[in-house]
Amino acid sequence: MVRPLIAGNWKMNGGRADGLALAGELARRARRADAARSAFDLLVCPPFTLLLAVAEAIADSPVALGAQDCHPAASGAHTGDVAAPMLAGVGCRYVIVGHSERRANHGESDQLVNAKAAAAHAAGLVAIVCIGETEAERTDGKTLDVVGRQFEGSLPPSVTPDNTVIAYEPVWAIGSGRVPTEAEIAAVHDHLRTLARARVPGGERLRLLYGGSVKANNAAGILAIANVNGALVGGASLNADDFWAIACSCP
């Protein structure tokens, strides 16, 4: 059985005081739950400005630290960017690459996401590779084609079940409150599992997360779907009660 991962993407939210309070509360809950052998892994991905402070707040707890992006180069003249080795140096274990907001707002291609994932692997980080279709693509019946193309194009040769997580986030569901039906989620995740088995050695163990308006009141149903191995949570991850409730919904 694949152990679920519940990841919180804080996006461009949170000052130091709020971030420390949230991280500290999650760390306290996770320490207590760890004693009872919790059924999930917990991850927080704050803005770059909070990484070091959050790393200190969650130290000696089961909560892992991740970043929201990285540059494909390990160093160089890239003003305003952050390299994967820098993230590892402040305690990150994960990094999100290819989020739809990066793809849309910064024009990131599958090729660039592929390079970022490779950079994450080279730095010893787990890459959370995001894929997902737009509403127009779903309406046109292209969902499986789109996610399949992104899956194949965004994964470097270095991918393994231990250094990569796939997050399926339909673009139209992110932050909208709209969620695909359980059957629609299942169809995509089943397709991704088939692709994973064909592409990745040990692909049966590759963690496939669902993301897009995951909340405490719908998490149990989503997390019970076959081949859904956790969730990438946006807005609800900014509230400790909501995020913890989602994590505790893991079957």
- Alpha-carbon radius of gyration of the chain: 17
> Is position 135 annotated as part of the catalytic site?
no
Residue 244 CA: distances (Å) to CA of 43, 49, 98, 112? 11, 23, 25, 33
Among the options 99, 121, 189, 191, which is catalytic?
A: 99
> Is position 99 annotated as part of the catalytic site?
yes
Among the options 71, 101, 169, 191, which is catalytic?
A: 169
- Amino acid residing at 106: H
User: Both tokens of residue 62?
Assistant: 């089961």
| Catalytic residue ranges | 99, 169
